[in-house]
Structure 1
Amino acid sequence: MAGELDHNNRDGIIGEHTRSCYSLGHFISRLRSLEISAAAACLLVIGLCCLLLSVISLYSSSISPWFLPPPPGSFSPATPPNPEDTKMQQQREISEDPELIKVLNRAKMTTTAVGEGRLPPSEMVILTTINRAWAEPGSLLDLFLESFWNGDGTKELLRHLVIVSLDHKAHQYCQAVHPHCYALTTPGVNFTGNAATSKSEEYMRVVWLRTEFYTSVLNLGIDFLFTDADIVWLRNPFPHLHEQVDFQAACDYYSGDDSDLRHIINTGFIFVRSNDRTRRFYKFWYDSRDRFPGVKEQDVLNSIKFEPFLNDIGLQIKLLDTDHFGGICQPIKDLKVGCTMHAICCIGLESKIQALTVILQDWKRFSSAPAESRLNLSTSFAWKPHRTGCWYVYARYL
C-alpha cells in the first residue's frame, strides 16, 4: 500500500511538473508578445526554473522536506561505532606511527648478534616502560640503566633498548638520559603514580595500553624482550633463552619444569617472537580483559593460559628458571650464572630502590674482584627477612 501511494504521489508530482512547464512556455510567449528585452526575459526564466526545481526536490524526498538523507554508505551519528573496529584502528595508528617506526628502526638488532647462535635470526628490540615516579634522579630508571653499564656483556645492549614513557615528565627525563625514547600516551590517561602499588582504574588502563602496544610491535614483524624497569641486568640474558619458543616469561617461583604452566607467569620479563601465533595470542589476551573487569594483564594471562585456544593456534610457552632470572621472591643462587634480578615481592617504590641498590652494589663488588676470588664471593651471598617492604632483602653474611 505504501509503495502504491508513493507511486501515485510521484505521478502527481510529474503531472504537476508537466503542467508547470506548459504554463512556463505560455508565459514566455506572452513575454515575447510584450517585447520585453531578451536579457531580462532570460533572467526571469532562470529564476523561475530554480524555484521550480527546489520545490520538486523537496516534495520528492521520502523523509522530511527539510532534511536530505546522507549518501549511501555514509556514517550516521545515530549509529554507535563498533568497539572492535575502534581497537583495531588504535592498533593501526600505533603501528603506523612514524615516530615509533623511526625509534624501532634505530634500536633494532638481530637475535644472532646477541644470542650466541641459540636464537633463530630475526629483528628484535628490548623494551621497558616508565612513568614519572620511576623516572627521577636516583629512582628505578637510573638503577636500571646503571646495571646495563656494569653488567657482563650488557653495555652494548643499551643501543637496542627502547624506553616507552607513559607520561610527559617521564618522556622528558628519558630524553635526557637515553637515545631511544617513545611517548605512549592516550587521551584521558595521565598515569604518574607508583605502578607497583596502584590499583586504580587509571592504572588498569595503562597496563592494558602496554599490552596493546606490544601487539603493535608484533604487527610490525619485530620480536621483543620486555623487561620491567625494577630489574637489574647482571649479564646478557639472550644466550640463556629457549630456542624456537613463541612466548617465554619469568616466574615468581620455579619448580624445575619449564613447561609446567602451573607456575605463576610474571610478565615483567618476557621474550616474544613475532609470528601469526603470537599476534593471535596477544589479541586473545587483550580481548580477554572484558571477561575479567578490573584485573591487570598479568592476572588475566594466568587465568587464560590453560584455555584450549592457545593449543588450537599452536602457541609454545616456556618458563625461565630462577637460577638465571631471579627475583626477590626466589633469588638467583650463584652470581656466576645469574642474569637478572627483579624487585618483586617488594611493596612500594622505596623498598624496590633499597633492594636493587644493595643488589647492584654487591654485583659490582663481585664483578670487580679477581677471577680466583670470585668462587668464594659467589657463595657468600644470602637472603634474610626484612621489614621495610620486601619479603626478603639482599644481604651478605660477613
Structure 2
Amino acid sequence: MIPGSFTSSRGSFFLPVNDVNANISAVAASSDSEEYKLENVLKNAAMDDKTVILTTLNEAWAAPNSVVDLFLESFRIGDHTRRLLNHLVIVALDEKAFSRCLAVHTHCYALVTEGVDFSKEAYFMFPDYLKMMWRRIDFLRVVLEMGYNFVFTDADVMWFRDPFPHFHEDADFQIACDHFSGDPDDVENRPNGGFSHVRSNNRSIEFYKYWYSSREKYPGLHDQDVLNNIKSDSFIWDIDLNMKFLDTTYFGGFCEPSKNLSEVCTMHANCCFGLETKLHDLRILLQDWKNFLSLPPAEKISSKLSWRVPQNCSLDSLRRYAPPPVNITVEQT
C-alpha cells in the first residue's frame, strides 16, 4: 500500500504539480522540495485559521458527467457554499484525475503511489478499495503534521449548506455517522470515514498514526471498520483526544438520510455499491435539492418535501456484492 522505502511524512511519493503540462509520473528528486510544494498548494487554499477542505479523486470519479461534476455542482447551488470552493483541494490519485481537476478546479494536487494503479473504479471492500482508503489516512496524517486543520469529504458527499456552524468547537476529531444515536459523545455511534473535521495538534497527529498502524492488527478491514474497533481503546483516552460524532440531521447519508431539507448541510451517497448506482441516486438527490430551493421562503419552512433517495443504493447491495470479510483473531488484553 505504501512503498517499502517510505519512512517519514517527507517521502517522495507526494507529487504536486502546478504546471498544466507537467508529467505527474516523474518522481521528484528532493523530498524537501516536494513537501514545500504541497505546502504551497495547502497555503493557497487555506482559510485564515489554516483550515482546508480535502477530497480525493481517481479517474473513474473524475470522468466527465461523473461524481466530481455533481460534487462541484452541489457547492455552486448550495446555500452559502460556493465560496468554500476557494478552500477545496482536490487530491488526484492518478494522471487522468489530475488532468481533469486542472480543467474544472483551481487547487489540485497529484498524489501518486509507486506500483499502485488507483485510476479504475474501486469496489467496496475489494483490495484496491482498501489500498485507497489506507493511502488516504496516511496522507491526512501528513496534512496534520504540516499544521493544517482539514475537513475531509468524499466526492460523493453533496454540500448543500455551510457545515462549519454545526461543528463542535472543542473537538479534535469529529466524524459523520452511518447511524447517529443522538449523543455526539457516544462511542456506539457508527462513524463514516467519508466526512470528518480534524484540528491539527499533537493529539490528532498521534491518533492518525495509531489509526493507520492499527490496520495491521485488523487485516482485511477498511479504515472505517478499524476506527470502529479502536474508538474505545485506552490509547484514545491516554492522548486525551476529544472525539465527537456528527448528527445525521445536518450530516446525513443514504444509510440514514437527513429528514429536514431546511437543516441539512451534507448528504453522502453511502450504503451504495457501484458507480452507476451511485450516480443514479446522486442525480436524483441534486434534483430534490433544486426543487426545494425553488420554493418560496415561507413554503421552505413548512414544506413536506423529502428525498426520493435512496433508490438504487441500499445496504443490501453492499452485502450482496462485497467480498466476504476476512476472519481475524484478536488477542484480548
Q: Same fold (TM over 0.5)?
A: yes
Matched, 1:380 2:300: no
The answer for the alignment partner of 1:41 in structure 2 is none
For 1:148 and 1:241, locate their aligned partners in 2 and report how far apart those are by CA, in whole Å. Answer: 18
Matched, 1:105 2:32: no
Q: Supply the AA of the counterpart residue of 2:109.
A: Y
State the 1:86 CA deviation. 4.6
The answer (yes or no) to whether the contact 1:251–1:265 under 8 Å persists in 2 is yes
Matched, 1:359 2:297: no
Gap regions ≥5 residues in structure 1: 1-82, 111-121, 393-398
State the 1:372 CA deviation. 1.9
The answer for the alignment partner of 2:213 in structure 1 is 287
For 2:5 and 2:183, locate their aligned partners in 1 and report how far apart those are by CA, in whole Å. Answer: 40
Aligned length, in residue pairs? 296
For 1:234 and 1:384, locate their aligned partners in 2 and report how far apart those are by CA, in whole Å. Answer: 16
The answer for the alignment partner of 2:188 in structure 1 is 262
Gap regions ≥5 residues in structure 2: 15-30, 317-333
1:145 aligned to which of 60, 66, 72: 72
Q: Supply the AA of the counterpart residue of 2:99.
A: Q
For 2:63 and 2:54, locate their aligned partners in 1 and report how far apart those are by CA, in whole Å. Answer: 19
1:390 aligned to which of 292, 310, 314: 314
The answer for the alignment partner of 2:296 in structure 1 is 370
State the 1:347 CA deviation. 1.4
The answer for the alignment partner of 1:250 in structure 2 is 176
For 1:285 and 1:189, locate their aligned partners in 2 and report how far apart those are by CA, in whole Å. Answer: 22
Higher helix share: 1
State the 1:384 CA deviation. 6.8
2:58 aligned to which of 131, 136, 153: 131
Return the structure number with greater relative CO, CA threshold 8 A, min gap 6.
2
State the 1:146 CA deviation. 0.1
State the 1:195 CA deviation. 2.9
The answer (yes or no) to whether the contact 1:165–1:183 under 8 Å persists in 2 is yes
For 2:117 and 2:4, locate their aligned partners in 1 and report how far apart those are by CA, in whole Å. Answer: 24
Q: Secondary structure at the match of 2:273?
A: coil
Correspondence list, 1:207-246, <5 A: 207-246=133-172
Q: Supply the AA of the counterpart residue of 1:337.
A: E
Identity among equivalent pairs (%): 48
For 2:133 and 2:251, locate their aligned partners in 1 and report how far apart those are by CA, in whole Å. Answer: 22
Matched, 1:345 2:271: yes
Q: Secondary structure at the match of 1:271?
A: strand
The answer for the alignment partner of 1:275 in structure 2 is 201
For 1:341 and 1:177, locate their aligned partners in 2 and report how far apart those are by CA, in whole Å. Answer: 22
For 1:231 and 1:358, locate their aligned partners in 2 and report how far apart those are by CA, in whole Å. Answer: 14
TM-score by length of 2: 0.84
The answer (yes or no) to whether the contact 1:189–1:206 under 8 Å persists in 2 is no
State the 1:279 CA deviation. 0.6
Moved more, 215-224 or 356-365: 356-365
Q: Residues 85 and 152 (structure 1 numbering): CA distance in 2 closer, same or farther, change over 3 Å?
A: same
2:238 aligned to which of 312, 327, 331: 312
Listed one character per residue, the Cα deviations across residues 10-31 of structure 1 (whole Å, up to 9, x for unaligned) are xxxxxxxxxxxxxxxxxxxxxx
For 1:316 and 1:244, locate their aligned partners in 2 and report how far apart those are by CA, in whole Å. Answer: 7
For 1:284 and 1:84, locate their aligned partners in 2 and report how far apart those are by CA, in whole Å. Answer: 19
The answer for the alignment partner of 1:156 in structure 2 is 83
Listed one character per residue, the Cα deviations across residues 317-346 of structure 1 (whole Å, up to 9, x for unaligned) are 000001000001111111111000000111
